[in-house]
């Protein structure tokens, strides 16, 4: 995952020293007894210099590792450590509504500079082909239009738009990956159609007054993790012309209950006996932290329920926090071990396409890199029968210390025939 840079162009360092007297292809060190004192001193100096550089590289590597470890540890429901005044996100706006970023958000942008995450997203066929279809099969929505691509990454959506007849595309990204995107765009003869701008959407200035279309792949785990939709809404209000188009333009969050004793045993009950030691004290914290993984469709034991609908053309930043009741009906007798969250996004259709464009992440569909978000219950709900109702309430809001994270709480109970409560209300917070 990490590599130490190695400069093989140093004139003072051959494989074995300054004079390069090891034979080509040789794996043995030269005979030091045959070297003069000056040669030995030169070799020693070169070795010390290289050791110093390697030490510097390893220090940088350790710092980079620490940064990404801190970023990854800020999971959906894990509260970030208290921040000082200079590192606190504020709900207030600055100037024209630019939201101040916490310092930790820089880790967010740095994480998208690595190629692996872009490979994973591009190879996610459900994700990439959903956008491709929504753009290629809606060419009249793009013909001669000015397009804004927010979080362009490698530039794939910008290139889709350019090939669908866009007059010009402005591609924005605050990650170093945009420097590679410049080469990609040029290699595909689209440099005259796509302008790439590095920076935060809230801070850059476009060379046009308005755009006709905004396209962005902003979705995170459980749809709203990472809060990139905030940036899309800012750009919508500042740059999108009246009647302009957003891709995607709608989204929803849904829940479903599952039975998975084996997975619970692996992830939760495991802590009860670890190499002969009782680590059960870990269980409450583990349960509070949701897992992101692929859920097989045959584990679903209820129907699904939409807990949040979002119209991206009209919603506000404040409207993304939500509280909703839910009712999940048992489709077979079972034990419930977890409640699973997933999302769906919709794209506008010109009518000529003759179809609805949807990007699904339900367990019932082909897995995506978003997978599903699994909320294990503190205690499994046993002896459930077909027709029982798993009722509850979910609350989802931004973490007060780091707005890219989410705080989620679940309250739930089970009603049998005649609304008889079979399992009393329980509440879980994260």
Would you name the residues annotated as active-site residues?
Answer: 217, 226
Beta bridge partners of residue 340, listed in sequence order: 256, 374
Picking from 321, 328, 278, 273, the residue whose alpha carbon sits closest to that of residue 304 is 328
- How far is Cα 215 from Cα 206, in angstroms, rounded to an integer? 15
In the structure encoding, which two tokens stand for residue 408, read together? 């989620």
Angle at alpha carbon of residue 22, lines to 18 and 28, rounded to 5°:
120
Q: Are 404 and 393 in contact (CB under 8 A)?
A: no
How many other C-beta atoms are found inside a 10 Å radius of the C-beta of residue 398?
A: 20
DSSP sequence for 188-228: TT-TTTEEEEES-TTT---SSS-EEEEEE---BTTBTTT-T
Phi, psi (degrees; rounded to nearest 5) at 182: -60, -45
CA dist 63 and 90 (Å) reads 28
Are 138 and 356 in contact, with CB atoms under 8 Å apart?
A: no
């Amino acid at each position: 995952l990490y590599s130490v840079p190695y400069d093989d162009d140093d004139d003072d360092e051959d494989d074995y020293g300054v004079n390069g007297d090891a034979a080509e292809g040789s794996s043995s060190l030269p005979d030091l007894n045959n070297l003069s004192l000056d040669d030995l001193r030169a070799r020693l100096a070169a070795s010390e210099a290289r050791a110093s550089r390697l030490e510097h590289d390893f220090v940088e590597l350790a710092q980079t590792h620490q940064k990404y470890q801190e970023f990854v540890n800020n999971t959906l429901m894990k509260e970030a450590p208290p921040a000082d005044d200079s590192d606190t996100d504020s709900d207030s706006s600055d100037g024209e509504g630019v939201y101040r970023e916490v310092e930790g958000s820089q880790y967010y942008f740095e994480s998208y500079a690595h190629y692996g995450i872009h490979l994973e997203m591009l190879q996610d066929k459900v994700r990439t082909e959903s956008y491709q279809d929504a753009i290629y099969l809606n060419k009249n929505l793009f013909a001669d239009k000015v397009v804004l691509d927010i979080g362009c990454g490698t530039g794939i959506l910008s290139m889709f738009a350019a090939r669908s007849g866009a007059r010009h595309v402005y591609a924005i990204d605050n990650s170093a990956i945009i420097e590679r995107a410049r080469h990609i765009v040029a290699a595909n003869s689209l440099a005259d159609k796509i302008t790439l701008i590095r920076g935060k959407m809230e801070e850059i200035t476009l060379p046009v007054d308005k755009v006709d279309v905004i396209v962005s792949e902003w979705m995170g785990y459980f749809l709203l993790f990472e809060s990139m939709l905030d940036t899309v809404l800012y750009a919508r209000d500042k740059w999108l012309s009246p009647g302009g188009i957003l891709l995607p333009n709608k989204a929803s969050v849904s829940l479903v209950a599952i039975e998975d004793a084996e997975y619970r045993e692996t992830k939760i009950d495991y802590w009860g006996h670890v190499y002969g030691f009782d680590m059960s004290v870990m269980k409450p914290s583990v349960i509070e932290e949701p897992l992101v993984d692929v859920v097989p469709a045959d584990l679903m034991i209820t129907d699904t329920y939409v807990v949040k609908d979002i119209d991206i053309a009209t919603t506000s930043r404040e409207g993304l926090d939500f509280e909703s009741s839910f009712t999940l009906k048992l489709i077979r007798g079972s034990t419930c071990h977890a409640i699973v969250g997933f999302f769906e996004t919709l794209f506008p259709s010109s009518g000529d396409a003759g179809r609805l464009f949807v990007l699904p992440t339900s367990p019932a569909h082909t897995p995506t890199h978003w997978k599903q978000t699994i909320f294990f219950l503190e205690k499994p709900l046993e002896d459930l029968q077909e027709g029982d109702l798993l009722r509850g309430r979910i609350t989802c809001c931004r973490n007060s210390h780091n707005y890219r994270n989410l705080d989620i709480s679940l309250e739930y109970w089970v009603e049998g025939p005649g609304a008889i409560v079979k399992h009393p209300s329980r509440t879980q917070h994260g």
